[in-house]
């Protein structure tokens, strides 16, 4: 991989620190880094680099925005993945997105298993799913019952996994 991935790795690390500390990824981190990714690719590779970067940005931003609309991630995560896409392009960033979602599922399951209210949460999820299937209700779980943790706990290992996999090929 190129130095673009290394710069993006530093960006992901900075977002990890801020998200774990405050459950927020600030605009003062995401917006300049995203713009710098678009600019760097455009300067070094011309229109081809711009298309590479804007495609990665756009697709990741839209996918994450849909996840944000369903309440799965925060707005900072949406902008973060736009930046990852701007620096690493479509294929790398989509892999990071998929790996991050898988890691998030595993982390959520581990947290759920070690909580005292595990059985109550499982019943509430089953009830919500039954209501969704029978009545078409879009709210599977009420917002006060959701399990929350910084998504960066999953994004950082997702990014590292993809980086190791892509450099090994």
Going from the C-alpha of 108 to that of each of 37, 92, 111, 147, the distances in angstroms are: 31, 24, 5, 7
Q: Tokens 């581990």 appear where?
A: 110
- DSSP-based three-state secondary structure for 139: coil
pTM: 0.81
Report the range of poorest mean pLDDT among 54-58, 78-82, 117-121: 117-121
Q: What is the mean pLDDT of residues 3-8?
A: 89
pLDDT of residue 140: 47
What is the rounded CA–CA span in Å between residue 56 and residue 44? 16
pLDDT band with cut points at 50, 70 and 90 for residue 154:
very high
What pLDDT does 88 receive? 95
Please state, as a whole number, how many other Cβ atoms lie within 10 Å of the Cβ of residue 81: 30
CB 167 within 8 A of CB 95: no
Q: Does 138 have pLDDT greater than 80?
A: no
pLDDT at 122 over 90: no
Closest of 23, 162, 18, 167 to residue 100, by C-alpha? 162
Under the banding of pLDDT at 50, 70 and 90, the label for residue 118 is low
């Amino acid at each position: 991989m190129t130095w673009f991935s290394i710069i993006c790795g530093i960006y992901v690390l900075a977002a990890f620190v801020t998200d774990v500390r405050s459950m927020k990824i600030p605009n003062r981190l995401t917006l300049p880094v995203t713009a710098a990714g678009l600019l760097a690719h455009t300067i070094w590779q011309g229109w081809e680099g711009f298309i590479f970067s804007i495609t990665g940005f756009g697709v990741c931003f839209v996918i994450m925005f849909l996840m944000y609309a369903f309440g799965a991630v925060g707005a900072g995560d949406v902008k973060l993945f736009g930046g990852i896409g701007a620096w690493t392009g479509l294929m790398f960033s989509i892999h990071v997105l998929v790996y991050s979602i898988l890691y998030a599922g595993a982390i959520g399951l581990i947290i759920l298993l070690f909580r005292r209210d595990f059985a109550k949460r499982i019943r509430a999820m089953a009830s919500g799913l039954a209501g969704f299937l029978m009545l078409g209700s879009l709210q599977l779980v009420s917002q006060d019952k959701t399990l929350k943790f910084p998504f960066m706990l999953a994004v950082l290992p997702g990014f590292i996994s993809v980086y190791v996999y892509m450099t090994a090929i």
